[in-house]
Structure 1
Amino acid sequence: MKKFTGFIMSLLLILMVGCSSNNFEIKLSTPKSFTSGQSTPIQVKILDPDGKPVKGAKVSTKLDMQGMSHGDISINMQEKGNGVYVGQANIEMEGDYIATIKVDDNGEKWLGEKRFSIVSNNSQ
């Protein structure tokens, strides 16, 4: 039942993003690897329809490991300038992740997903 609910939620998210009237361009940057016990930087760059950096937006990001139900990793994103927003994540396991990104720029909203993979630096 949880898989079905997750599937329905994913479809709704795709529909919401597909029906959105804005044209934000969102670029997610993550490192290729992480070190357990240390925070990992997550960066989002937001551009408007003219390709100009979006300044002063409210941005939040949640990471969810694909196929696992360990809960979300919420990230507080801080504006660093030039449309770049950065936060720190405490990633505990290597694997494939889905970043759910919410942007609110003066009432214009964007909600979408970006996928990435990350491996551990720790020697086992």
Structure 2
Amino acid sequence: MNKFTILIIGLVMVLMAGCSSNNIEIKLTTPKSFTPGQLTPIQVKILDPKGQPVKGAKVSAKLDMQGMSHGDTSLNFQETGNGVYVGKANLEMEGDYTAAIQIDYDGEKSLSEKRFSIVYNQAQ
């Protein structure tokens, strides 16, 4: 391998290590469908590096529809217990979304991106 390739691999490894410094695990749960004009619950479960539920975090997210430029949807989450936080989003379109989830916990901020797909509720 040439020196440039080794340098690039080294930089990628350093960046990966820096991005996972606190090792918080985030699990995103969304419904498979939504009803236009109604708020849709979005849930995250947060676990600490020991696998224990995180309590007392400040959680927010921005939802961005992939491939669209109509802005993003911001939401704040409320803690419901056992490491679970719930927010409600006003989704306008079905499709593929990216949730940029920000967590402020124990003096550290974490940012994680999760993807999900959602369709219109056909049982109206």
Q: TM-score, normalised by structure 1?
A: 0.83
Deviation at 1:110, TM superposition (A): 1.0
**Alpha carbons of structure 1 residues 43 and 109: separation in structure 2 relative to 1, 3 Å:** same
Root-mean-square deviation (Å): 1.9
Alignment of structure 1 residues 10-89 onto 2, 5 Å: 19-20=18-19, 21-89=21-89
Contact 1:34 1:40 in 2 (8 A): yes
Q: Say yes or no: does 1:112 pair with 2:116.
A: no
The 1:16/1:86 distance shift into structure 2, 3 A limit, reads: farther
> Shift of residue 18 of structure 1?
5.4
Q: CA deviation at 1:105?
A: 0.5
Aligned residues: 110
2:62 and 2:104 map into 1 onto residues whose CA distance is 15
Q: How far, CA to CA, are the matches of 1:55 and 1:77 in structure 2?
A: 13
Q: Which runs of 5+ in 2 are unaligned?
A: 1-13
Amino acid corresponding to residue 65 of structure 1 in structure 2:
M
The runs of 5 or more residues in structure 1 that have no matched partner are: 1-14
TM-score by length of 2: 0.83
Alpha-carbon offset, residue 25 of structure 1: 0.4
